[in-house]
Structure 1
Amino acid sequence: MLTPEVPMSHSVAGEPPSAGRRAAPLTTAVYSAAEWDLLTSLPGRVVVAATAPGPGRPARGVAEGLAGLEAMAAGRSFDSDLVRAVVSAIYARHDNQPLPTGPSDDLVDLLAACRAVVRVLDRRADPADSAAYRQWVQSVAARVCRAAPPGRPPLAGEAPADRRFLDRLGDALGLR
């Protein structure tokens, strides 16, 4: 089965897009719809996983989740067309779909999704954009792990269980 490609920002002949039709950024043109969905859903899945309790990791609350969302939004100022396009796509969604949760977002599935993203980036992305995207996703998780709820001072560093989580995430993202 053929996967539809994300529309390009210009026609094949090079004319501008039709009036009234919003074109996707040129950066997205090289990704299939499934690949683009993977790239745009991974940061949210990382926030969900980083806020979830795990062995030696307490459940996080609203403050930590908001820290993750702020880290996602910080991608708007990255010097990477890919990261900025992903952030724009995340915040432009109007489907009101909740972030994926449950068994499909356990750590094993999340790490598998990270490895799948790395394969997509290796095939399709500029090396600098690939590195920026992977570092940005890691920074989203780190921001959640370092966040503190109101009334508690910020952590000086991650707890050992958080460090293990971040290390595993970094490995799956090809950052180590």
Structure 2
Amino acid sequence: MDRPPVVVARLADQLKVDASLIRSYGRRAQTDRASAPGAQYLGWRPAGAMELKELNEFLLARAMEHDSPSLLFRLGCEYLISARVIRPSPDTMVRRVVHAREQAQQETYDRLAHELTPQRCAELDALLVTDASIRMSRLRWLSTGPVEASAAAVRNEVEKLGFVRGLGADTDQQLRQSGGPGESH
């Protein structure tokens, strides 16, 4: 693409960059976005060590809330836009999302390890076994919502609530310790 010399000179003057940078921009096999003319002028900065560290922390916090890799990728890109940081390569972003998900998995385990008593593990394992009385696993039963508005559907949902309460899932040790909901007075 031919760039009119007058336009190149004026743009270079406005951006305070050498005109040869603008003339050669886009002619290389791969243009380095971090050195793109105008990025600094527009307030954008390359993703340096500090920016990538902050991105990692952001992704870890989101990975504790969400497990979807595509959502984490999108949220990471939106974060970089809001911070006016030039996005690193998609490969770099994917590796950081994978790392954040691995860290979140470990953090989740660390937070719940004290709850995973042998009895609790047996109860969780039992959720995966087909229960002859309902002809499906308890996990599938719990995750299947009502399909009609009827007394039988309401009774089934109440049975689910009773089952979950029987497992102790309606109590939260940390909330009781901090005086939050579920604390008995």
Same fold (TM over 0.5): no
Greater relative contact order (CA < 8 Å, ≥ 6 in sequence): 1
Q: Which has the larger radius of gyration?
A: 2
User: Normalising by structure 2, what TM-score?
Assistant: 0.27
User: Normalising by structure 1, what TM-score?
Assistant: 0.28
